[in-house]
Amino acid sequence: MRFDTPATTNPIDQLKVVGKPVDRIDGPLKTTGTARYAYERQDVAPHAAYGYIVGADVAKGRIAAIDQARAKAAPGVLAIVTADNAGKLGKGSYNTARLLGGPNVEHYHQAIALVVAESFEQARAAAHLLKVQYTHADGVYDLADARAATDRKTIDRNSAIGDFPGAFAKSEVQLDATYSTPDHSHAMMEPFATTAAWSGDKLTIWTSNQMIEWNASELATTLGIGRDKVHVVSPYVGGGFGAKLFLRADALLAALGARAVKRPVKVAMQRPLMANNSTHRPATIQRIRLGATKAGKLTAIGHESWSGNLVGGKPENAVQQTLWLYAGENRLTGTRLATLDLPEGNAMRAPGEAPGLMALEIAMDELAEKLGMDPLELRVINDTQVDPAKPERKFSQRQLVECMRVGAERFGWAQRSTKPAQRREGRWWIGTGMAAAFRNNQVTKSGARVALDRQGLVTVETDMTDIGTGSYTIIAQTAAEMMGVPLERVVVRLGDSTFPVSAGSGGQWGANCSTAGVYAACVKLREAVAARVGVDVSGASFSDGLVTAGGRSVPLAGLAGDTPIVAEDTIEFAELNKRFQQSTFGAHFVEVAVDAYTAEVRVRRMLAVCASGRILNPKSARSQVIGAMTMGVGAALMEELAIDKRLGFFVNHDLAGYEVPVHADIPHQEVVFMDETDAISSPMKAKGVGELGICGVAAAVANAIYNATGVRVRDYPVTLDKLIGKMPPVTSA
């Protein structure tokens, strides 16, 4: 099905099942421990051996020798896989560094060996008996130093409209400030984990991955075998946030280990390796220049961002939202990439907008103060309903102003003190901050297969994944709505590379696109059912397990006979996303308390207002948003991969040293979804929301801290050491 004209009224608009706050249908399996994750597949790969990954102890250099004698002689050891005996390996297009290093080492904890043994404990013990000799090489590990070194910096993208330098110089009010965000770890609960088994020349992996087809194709390329020889299964994923978009070392090494010992092998990457071995959100240094009239109209917008990566990697596109969020006739955006020898930087929840808004939305707050304006009103008067670079290109939907107005009313924004450090409650300074939220709406083709059996049961198959986001449920809701059956009469099968290729879980496109693919397949199934009944599908209705047309109703049960009626289709998005700018919008409001004596920060209230198309399931959507809001608090107050700039690695590479928010850090979070449908986006009239929820949160927290204390911090995270020396004088409350 080609989606090339705006959606009109269709069966989804009935909203009998879609749009309802349905409990997650996979919930009972997960809460009872019966959902089998990748490392637990004894049911399909019995008697598996265990692999233990050995990571490089240097950040840059070369392996001179590996003494394997003691490890090979250790109890239970079956094989040791290294680059010397793994055979010729390719490199997929989504990997910057090789997943199995040697003899060259490209980053710290790059996998250089896999020890396979009868038990995990034996593999771990033997791995520590390997003696690796390295030839060290000098590396560059500091973004600020690399930014200053012209030989390590490349221009990735520049965009200019009008005369930014001239307009900025003539602006009545100017802001020129630099902000920084640190490296972040995905820190998901389930590690990278895979069970692998060969049957002849065919490989099956049960793995934890967000994008099944990407993973299967990349694994085939890396191993140098046909794509038809690789079967990937990933029905349950315990978190990913972008880290599991791509093929990682666990999957490749499990496959190599299984081939070496000729039996199934399971590999779970050790937690201390995950931060340095896999991808992370790279640090940024962002310079923002804003010029405005005294009335607050932006006349010049400049946003330049520097980030680092390995050779061949890409920059963090932190200027992305600045292209579309605010009006302004003179604009300059640019990303710069510095070559660093740290582990690979890549996608993490809301790549681009998440770190970009951490800077831009503080800058807007600072400009508002210079202007003596309410920061919310500054954003309102600079709203735009068209793409600033292409005024003829309208937004498909844009309710940013409405989000801010609704949020301000519900949060009590009018009671906020415009002057910082004015409100005290005992030992606590109280402040309120806000920020706009923006995330582009991306669409990508997505397929599904649906079948109706003789009992009237509808089965959906697609390689879409559920990474804790509720994919099983919204896909079941879509099929139930389209076929007119109760939700319990739908079976959903996900995460298998033998199923039709879907959008996968990433980019905030998964829910909208995967359900649109199911919609397309169900349209074909409805046609097939109508033909079986002998009626015109355009006049048929599907409801209560019946197909009704021409004055008669026929039960779906029994129509299929012994052979199910099967239909398959793919939604393909055509030119609409080029003709219209598709984005999601929101507003975040935060109240904080800052201890007057210690500068400890406590978040007291949070509100997110989101305009994100039709909300397919308000319950699971809210879960996505509050999870994202929690990640935003972490980015604001505590999350930071600390770099040893001598040796080139992330020091706090486990959940003891890498701090993330816990329950005690997070107050009750309120989420409001605006009433919106976007007919330009898909037949579902939906858009994504899971990444929008993180965009702007950190800035809202930082702005609230400033409102509470008068201390402006431009370098995240906003830890107490950056506040305590500048706090207001302590007087009697």
Tens digit of each residue's pLDDT (9 = 90 or more) over 402-415: 999 999 999 999 99
Q: Decide if 587 contacts 400 (C-beta within 8 A).
A: yes
- Start-to-end C-alpha separation, the chain: 66
Tens digit of each residue's pLDDT (9 = 90 or more) over 530-549: 999 999 999 999 999 999 99
Tens digit of each residue's pLDDT (9 = 90 or more) over 288-299: 999 999 999 999
Mean pLDDT for the stretch of residues 107-111: 98
In this structure, are strands 49-55 and 265-268 parallel, antiparallel, or unpaired?
parallel
pLDDT at 223 over 80: yes
pLDDT at 152 over 80: no
Which 3 state secondary structure label does DSSP give 624?
Answer: helix
pLDDT at 150 over 70: no
pLDDT for 458 = 98
> Residue 379: which residues within 8 A CB-CB, separation 6 or more?
326, 364, 400, 404, 436
In this structure, are strands 428-440 and 424-425 parallel, antiparallel, or unpaired?
antiparallel
As a whole number of angstroms, the distance between CA 158 and CA 359 comes to: 18
Would you place residue 20 in the very low, low, confident or very high pLDDT band (cuts 50, 70, 90)? very high
**Given 304, 353, 591, 691, which residue is catalytic?**
691
As a whole number of angstroms, the distance between CA 492 and CA 471 comes to: 9
pLDDT for 615 = 98
Find tokens 């490392």 and name the residue: 39
pLDDT at 726 over 70: yes
540-542-544 Cα angle (round to 5): 140
As a whole number of angstroms, the distance between CA 644 and CA 109 comes to: 14
Q: What percent of the chain has pLDDT over 90?
A: 97
- The conformational region for residue 561 under phi > 0 = left, psi -120 to 50 = alpha, else beta, is left
pLDDT for 149 = 84
Tens digit of each residue's pLDDT (9 = 90 or more) over 175-194: 999 999 999 999 999 999 99
pLDDT at 72 over 80: yes
Residue 65 burial by CB count (10 A; 0-12/13-18/19+): exposed, middle or buried?
A: exposed
Question: What is the chain's length?
Answer: 733
Mean pLDDT for the stretch of residues 420-446: 97
Structure tokens at 291: 């010029």
pLDDT for 578 = 87
pLDDT at 699 over 80: yes
pLDDT at 120 over 80: yes
What sign results for the dihedral spanned by CA atoms 484, 487, 491, 494? positive
- Residue 70 has φ and ψ, to the nearest 5°, of -65, -40
Q: Decide if 471 contacts 240 (C-beta within 8 A).
A: no
pLDDT for 366 = 98
> Which of 641-661 are b and which e, b meaning 16 or more Cβ less than 10 Å from the residue's Cβ?
bebeeeebbbebbeeeebbbb
Which 3 state secondary structure label does DSSP give 601?
Answer: strand
pLDDT for 153 = 77
Distance of CA 378 to the CA centre of its chain: 30
pLDDT for 733 = 52
Which 3 state secondary structure label does DSSP give 258?
Answer: helix
Record the pTM.
0.97
Q: What percent of the chain has pLDDT over 70?
A: 100
pLDDT for 528 = 98
As a whole number of angstroms, the distance between CA 54 and CA 82 comes to: 10
Distance of CA 142 to the CA centre of its chain: 25
Tens digit of each residue's pLDDT (9 = 90 or more) over 436-474: 999 999 999 999 999 999 999 999 999 999 999 999 999
| Long-range CB contacts for residues 397-400, cutoff 8 Å, separation at least 24 | 397/611, 397/613, 397/676, 397/678, 397/680, 398/583, 398/585, 398/611, 399/585, 399/611, 399/674, 399/676, 400/325, 400/436, 400/438, 400/585, 400/586, 400/587, 400/611
Report which residue type is found at 68. Q
Neighbours of 74 (CB within 10 A): 18
pLDDT for 156 = 80
As a whole number of angstroms, the distance between CA 403 and CA 18 comes to: 23
pLDDT at 110 over 70: yes
Tens digit of each residue's pLDDT (9 = 90 or more) over 579-598: 999 999 999 999 999 999 99
pLDDT at 730 over 90: no
> Residue 162: which residues within 8 A CB-CB, separation 6 or more?
329, 330, 331
pLDDT for 732 = 62
Which 3 state secondary structure label does DSSP give 648?
Answer: coil
Would you place residue 155 in the very low, low, confident or very high pLDDT band (cuts 50, 70, 90)? confident
Mean pLDDT for the chain overall: 97
Mean pLDDT for the stretch of residues 136-162: 88
List the domains of the chain with CATH numbers: 2-35+443-575 (3.30.365.10), 38-138+189-273 (3.30.365.10), 361-441+582-726 (3.30.365.10)
Q: Is the bond preceding 103 in cis, omega lying within 30 degrees of 0?
A: yes
Q: Decide if 626 contacts 692 (C-beta within 8 A).
A: no
Mean pLDDT for the stretch of residues 133-155: 89
Would you place residue 731 in the very low, low, confident or very high pLDDT band (cuts 50, 70, 90)? confident
> For this structure, is 691 an active site residue?
yes
